[in-house]
Amino acid sequence: MTVENRCFIIAEIGVNHNGNLDLARKLIDVAVEAGADAAKIQTFKAEDLIVAGTKTVEYQRRNGAEDDQFKLLKSLELSHEQHRKLVEYCALRGIEFMSTGFDIASLQFLVELGIRRIKIPSGEITNTPLVEVAARTCLPIIISTGMATLDEVRDCIRAVRDVWQALGNDGDLCVLHCTTAYPTALSDVNLAAMHTMQKALDEKVGYSDHTAGILVPPLAVAAGARVLEKHITLDREMQGPDHAASIEPGELKRMVAEIRLIETVLGDGIKAPKPVELATRTLVRKGLKFAGEFPKGHVVSAVDLVSLRPETGLPPARLKSLVGRTLVKPVAIYDAVEEDHFEF
């Protein structure tokens, strides 16, 4: 696979740092050691994200979260200073820092930090004001599409493209197929939706995975995902809303290795013989040979020529064009048929 088609792998820390800077750094280390392209967190202020008193959803409670969504999110916030330290740490470790901004102020702060691309989360796909602010940065945009219809995805893309067109920017955009369930059952994955979106939207596609384990991400890359996002944790038994639906360090390392292997297998898409095939081709393909010994001046008929291995001589596809031609030199049986044997 060419470098430009190489899948961009995002190790999604999300809120699995549990509000702890040291834990966030350890997860960045995990992403680096596995060979991921980016380590991503989430940037938000609870008061700008949710109404106080909103209850947590079932999967969050199942994974040990308290009942109050506002209090949960408040406990998972990272300060601006903590963000800056994580940006510095990612630079030190040689991995791209990413974060999802869940509100306009958070998004603008991330832009000030120097992020290289913007991630629109599934829950904000219909938040056109936020999407338009993202588009006005002219940074590459990745859009997750969990819970969305094709029309909603189309509307979000249109909002981005309209802003870019007004600014004279032909930007880089990728839409990620996603099923918002933690974990996602294999029967709910629907990887074929990537092809549906690619065909309908004419945009790059990728996949944000919430299934258990690492079976699906390599399959998504084989199916054409250009961006792959997967939640990571140090330990699935840790307390927090997303740990149980995440993969551990060893799994992330295997997932990245399998994806890179699949890219090697996918190749560059050019249909041409590989150098390793050429010696075999010479042996197993046939070439035209003379079926007998013929003198100079002999007029060749179809029965005078035979297709035999190896691939020496003219290809069998030339047989009809040689019938009726006159030999300009004598030939022996099984001599390879060449152009210079004939009068043209």
Question: SS3 of 235, please?
Answer: coil
Domain 275-341 has CATH 3.90.1210.10: yes
- Given a contact cutoff of 8 angstroms between Cβ atoms, the answer to whether 45 and 73 are in contact is no
CATH 3.90.1210.10 range(s) for the chain read 275-341
pLDDT at 289: 99
Q: At the topology level of CATH, where does 3-266 sit?
A: TIM Barrel (3.20.20)
DSSP state of 234: S
pLDDT at 152: 99
pLDDT at 269: 94
Using 50 as the pLDDT threshold, list the residues of the chain that sit under it. 1
Percentage helix, strand, coil, to 5, in the chain? 45, 20, 40
DSSP state of 336: B
Query: Tokens for 3?
Result: 């470098």
Buried b (16+ CB within 10 A) or exposed e, 265-284: eeeeeeeeeeeeeeeeeeee
pLDDT at 301: 99
Beta bridge partners of 8: 227
Structure-derived torsion over alpha carbons of residues 279, 281, 282, 287, reported in degrees to the nearest 10: 180
Nearest CA among 4, 13, 18 for reference residue 77: 18
CB-based contacts of 82, cutoff 8 Å, min separation 6: 21, 24
Global confidence as pTM: 0.91
Give, to the nearest 10 degrees, the angle between helix 104-113 and helix 128-136: 20
- 179 vs 40: CA distance, rounded Å: 19
- 322 vs 178: CA distance, rounded Å: 60
CB-based contacts of 77, cutoff 8 Å, min separation 6: 19, 44, 45, 46
Nearest CA among 109, 98, 164 for reference residue 131: 164
CATH 3.20.20.70 range(s) for the chain read 3-266
pLDDT at 1: 43
**Count of Cβ atoms closer than 10 Å to residue 185 Cβ:** 11
Query: Tokens for 6?
Result: 């190489």
- Given a contact cutoff of 8 angstroms between Cβ atoms, the answer to whether 203 and 175 are in contact is yes
- 263 vs 96: CA distance, rounded Å: 21
Nearest CA among 245, 246, 248, 252 for reference residue 182: 245
Give the DSSP H/E element, type plus range, for residue 304. none
- 121 vs 169: CA distance, rounded Å: 22
